[in-house]
């Protein structure tokens, strides 16, 4: 008998019929003797409906009231789901964030979980209930409702699994798991059987949408085995686990890309101490996040170029801010592009293998793709290229690292002892 | 400067535009220096939408989960409303039932308020906020969300006004106030300027839909002046106040009718002690409420007839239950009708005037309308008649008691001292 936390996303609970199907699936686990805690998102479309209403009221909706508003989406789902379980003849109870004291800080719309009180949950599990917890929401120290931001229900599920020392946290979604790359642009994309937390973190931060990065970080910190799988099939999905649980020695696990960024260069900048601060202060003051930053070596003229990427939606504002900065510091000019892609390869095996970066650069060069920025970490290499080459680059890299080859067979995880 | 509780119903907040209009109206009071607490219902249609979803999940939805579900409707409205106030440049904060500790018993879907903690509300009023509280909902002793049933937002508003010792509780609705009768069937119907709590209680329980009976009872108990008025005009509405605040000596205040009942007779019942209990026990066991009960005097044969009314939706079930009862107790037969109307006249002046009942019976007789049941209280007389005569009876009684004649002029209530 295991303690299982199962999270179902918005498309999995998008209609009364789908909610019933999820209830049936959850009850199969309960009938096998497991204790099941279910975390649900809002029905698909609901969060958008509520957000639209908010923007009809206020140009920049108040974040406290936004959380008050958006948290209703999950509340509706957990109530309906508990009804479905009861209709099937089983006992069920639903809880909101504040009812199981999912205590967060007060950063409305992107709060962080500080603690969870699992007492009530265990009490009702022991009484044979399917316990359902509203995802995405918490409560702060003064009793205000908070929400956890994008992918917040994943975070709720992982945090609950950690607090309960659950045997596994299953993330049910509309795909079958984590793929070596986007199957929509590469027919050879293959579902990964097992991946390490660190690789998943890189993939998530680089644009793979299947898991929210914060939930992966949470899972890593508390060593919660994650199982990403499809709501609509019985197939095993992808296990996200500790690195030493990965039997195979995979060098590159996946190819990912991110089209949401834009590239900005400020050139002919006097190469003096404090110049970076002068450039980036107005940008961070405007709440614009900067991702990659590259500063070229001063080649002797006392001038340097600074290139960085920002979210594409912040591109126009960033260029405007930089105009002022360039004048102030006497830079020669600014230019940029909002039609770029950051393409990345990720894999823990890179640590022990040299030449991976060279292979990547060669593959891109052979396709005639120019690289305008490079950034690396211990387990990933990212290149910024022109957006139009995205699909070509993904397929070429997927081929070059032979990612369609299956993982070596590995002992399957079992629910009763998934941590083995 | 007064403390005002203002409640707006679902049609008043049925769209983002309407919510903005309500915000503008509330701000006019705030700008006059008043402290305003706003209680809101769910946007019109929302409660039905949620109820439909519930019935798709469960034939008889679990009441705890139903409250979890339905309470989201008001939560959405209060968040949107606070955004509207903020967009207009003022400060605002919204609270749910549990956030201002509207403590109720645990009777889900029809809970009763036990206490309210007004500390937070006063704190934010003192800081210049428009404070908005979700209507219809509370929290029970174990932290579960409860709802107050039909008309629950009115009850929330009155309870808040009582707890805060507010100067007035204004109920904004889609009609201009309380009328002498239904304007849809009697063109001479007139808006009443002032009415006593007791009269309003009778009118509310007899079918006038403008105010929920529980909220009137609450207002009477705590002596909260109620002002029922239109959201869409500036006109004064109807004040519901203590009887000694009514200057005029009105004999009959209003004519009301209720088409939601059905009449049932069990005849030839042995006139023995305990027979009434035998008849009504199975009915109350089936959760069917009985309204009027009339037992005729035994005329010597040792037999009596028992006639009573139930809600029309319970008519078929009641007749089935009675079949069993009639057999058991040896009654001669049962018959009934679900096409009846209970028509009533209400007025505190009846206490000091004889002959009002006689006038009513004469008026109905003159129109050829047969009376099948009569029931009276100190300030009302009700007659059950065939449904088809409803409109005719209402107009005849309205004419007979000259209800189109305006109230005598009375000093207008002023917000700064409405209790004078």
In this prediction the ipTM stands at: 0.81
A90 in contact with B, Cβ within 8 Å: no
Are residues B16 and A57, on separate chains, in Cβ contact within 8 Å? Answer: yes
pLDDT at res. B409 = 43
A414 pLDDT exceeds 90? no
Domain with CATH 3.30.2130.10 in chain A: 261-337
Are residues B57 and A84, on separate chains, in Cβ contact within 8 Å? Answer: yes
pTM as predicted: 0.82
pLDDT at res. B368 = 93
A54 in contact with B, Cβ within 8 Å: yes
pLDDT in tens, chain B (420 residues): 899 999 999 999 999 999 999 999 999 999 999 999 999 999 999 999 999 999 999 999 999 999 999 999 999 999 999 999 999 999 999 999 999 999 999 999 989 999 999 999 999 999 999 999 999 999 999 999 999 988 899 999 999 999 999 999 999 988 889 999 988 899 999 999 999 999 998 887 766 678 888 899 999 999 999 999 999 898 999 999 988 766 556 788 899 999 999 999 998 888 888 888 888 889 888 888 888 888 877 767 788 888 999 999 999 999 999 999 999 999 999 999 999 999 999 988 887 777 888 889 999 999 999 998 888 888 889 999 999 999 999 999 999 998 988 754 444 444 444 443
Q: What is Dmax (Cα atoms) for chain A? A: 79
pLDDT at res. B14 = 95
Residue A174 near residue A220, CB atoms below 8 Å: no
pLDDT at res. A100 = 97
Beta-strand (E) ranges in B18-111? Answer: 35-40, 92-95, 103-104
Give the residue among A364, A319, A320, A365 at the shortest CA–CA distance from A344. A364
Residue with tokens 């504002």: A317
User: Which class is domain A3-243?
Assistant: alpha beta
The DSSP line for B362-389 is HHHHHTTPPP-EEEEETTEEEEEEEGGG
Beta-strand (E) ranges in B275-387? Answer: 290-295, 303-311, 333-337, 340-346, 373-377, 380-386
Pairing of strands A226-230, A238-241: antiparallel
Task: Point out the residue among B16, B65, B78 whose CB comes nearest to the CB of A83.
Answer: B65
Q: For CA atoms A359, A360, A363, A369, give the dihedral sign.
A: negative
Q: Say what percent of chain A tops pLDDT 90.
A: 67
Give the residue among B64, B134, B123, B65 at the shortest CA–CA distance from B94. B134
**Residue B184: partners with Cβ closer than 8 Å, 6 or more residues away:** none
Distance from CA of B143 to the nearest CA of A (A): 7
Residues in A closer than 8 angstroms to B84, CB to CB, are 57-58
pLDDT at res. B342 = 93
Confidence tier at A415 by pLDDT (50, 70, 90): very low
- Exposure on the CB side of residue A353, measured as CA atoms within 13 A: 18
Answer whether CATH 3.30.2130.10 is correct for domain A261-337.
Answer: yes
pLDDT at res. B414 = 44
A58 in contact with B, Cβ within 8 Å: yes
pLDDT mean over A236-254: 80
Q: How many Cβ contacts (< 8 angstroms) between chains A and B?
A: 103
A64 pLDDT exceeds 60? yes
Residues in A closer than 8 angstroms to B99, CB to CB, are 143-144
Other C-beta atoms closer than 10 Å to the C-beta of A322 total 22
Domain with CATH 3.30.2130.10 in chain B: 245-411
Q: What is the CATH number of domain B245-411?
A: 3.30.2130.10
A141 in contact with B, Cβ within 8 Å: no
Domain with CATH 3.40.1160.10 in chain A: 3-243
Answer whether CATH 3.40.50.300 is correct for domain B3-174.
Answer: no
A274 pLDDT exceeds 50? yes
Residues in A closer than 8 angstroms to B89, CB to CB, are none
Q: Which helix (H) or strand (E) holds B172?
A: strand B168-173
Task: Point out the residue among A16, A53, A62 whose CB comes nearest to the CB of B86.
Answer: A62
Residues in B closer than 8 angstroms to A61, CB to CB, are 83
pLDDT at res. B248 = 55
- Chain A residue nearest residue B15, CA to CA: A53
Confidence tier at A372 by pLDDT (50, 70, 90): confident
Confidence tier at A207 by pLDDT (50, 70, 90): low
Give the residue among A347, A161, A167, A318 at the shortest CA–CA distance from A252. A347
Residue B210 near residue B254, CB atoms below 8 Å: no
pLDDT at res. A126 = 96
Higher pLDDT, residue B146 or A374: B146
Higher pLDDT, residue A179 or B207: A179
pLDDT at res. A246 = 62
pLDDT at res. B410 = 41
In tens, the pLDDT along A303-342 reads 888 899 999 999 999 999 999 999 999 999 999 999 999 9
In tens, the pLDDT along A123-174 reads 999 999 999 999 999 999 999 999 998 889 999 999 999 999 999 999 998 8
In tens, the pLDDT along A9-44 reads 999 999 999 999 999 999 999 999 999 999 999 999
SS3 A308: strand
- Chain A residue nearest residue B87, CA to CA: A58
pLDDT at res. A296 = 75
Domain with CATH 3.40.1160.10 in chain B: 3-174
pLDDT at res. B293 = 86
pLDDT mean over A202-208: 74
pLDDT mean over A71-79: 98
């Amino acid at each position: 008998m295991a303690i299982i936390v199962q999270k179902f996303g918005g498309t999995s609970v998008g209609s009364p019929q789908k909610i019933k199907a999820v209830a049936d699936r959850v009850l199969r686990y309960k009938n096998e003797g497991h204790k099941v805690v279910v975390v649900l998102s809002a029905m698909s479309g609901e969060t958008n409906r509520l957000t639209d209403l908010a923007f009809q009221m206020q140009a920049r909706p108040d974040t406290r009231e936004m959380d008050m508003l958006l948290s209703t989406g999950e509340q509706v789902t957990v109530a309906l789901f508990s009804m479905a379980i009861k209709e099937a003849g089983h006992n069920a109870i639903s809880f909101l964030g504040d009812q199981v004291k999912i205590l967060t800080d007060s950063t409305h719309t992107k709060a962080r979980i500080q603690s969870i009180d699992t007492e009530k949950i265990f009490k009702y599990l022991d009484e044979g209930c399917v316990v359902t917890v509203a995802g995405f929401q918490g409560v702060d120290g003064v009793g205000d409702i908070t929400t956890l931001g994008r992918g917040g229900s994943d975070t709720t599920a992982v945090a609950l699994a950690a607090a309960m020392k659950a045997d596994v946290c299953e993330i049910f979604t509309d795909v079958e798991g984590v793929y070596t790359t986007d199957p929509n642009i590469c027919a050879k994309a293959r579902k990964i059987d097992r991946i390490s937390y660190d690789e998943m973190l890189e993939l998530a931060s680089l644009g793979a949408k299947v898991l929210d990065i914060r939930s992966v970080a949470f899972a890593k910190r508390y060593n919660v085995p994650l199982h990403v799988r499809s709501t609509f099939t019985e197939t095993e999905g992808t296990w996200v686990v500790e690195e030493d649980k990965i039997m195979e020695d995979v060098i590159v696990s996946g190819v990912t890309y991110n089209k949401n960024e834009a590239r900005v260069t400020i050139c002919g900048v006097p190469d003096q101490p404090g110049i970076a601060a002068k450039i980036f202060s107005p940008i961070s003051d405007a709440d614009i996040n900067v991702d990659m930053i590259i500063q070229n070596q001063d080649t002797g003229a006392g001038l340097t170029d600074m290139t960085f990427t920002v979210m594409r939606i912040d591109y126009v504002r960033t260029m405007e801010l930089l105009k002022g900065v360039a004048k102030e510091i006497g830079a020669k000019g600014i230019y940029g592009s909002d039609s770029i892609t950051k393409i990345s390869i990720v894999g823990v095996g890179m640590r022990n293998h040299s030449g991976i970066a060279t292979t990547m650069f060669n593959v891109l060069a052979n396709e005639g793709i120019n690289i305008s920025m490079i950034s690396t970490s211990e387990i990933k290499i990212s290149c910024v290229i022109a957006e139009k080459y995205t699909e070509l680059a993904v397929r070429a890299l997927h081929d070059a690292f032979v990612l369609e080859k299956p993982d070596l067979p590995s002992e399957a995880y079992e629910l009763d002892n998934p941590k083995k």
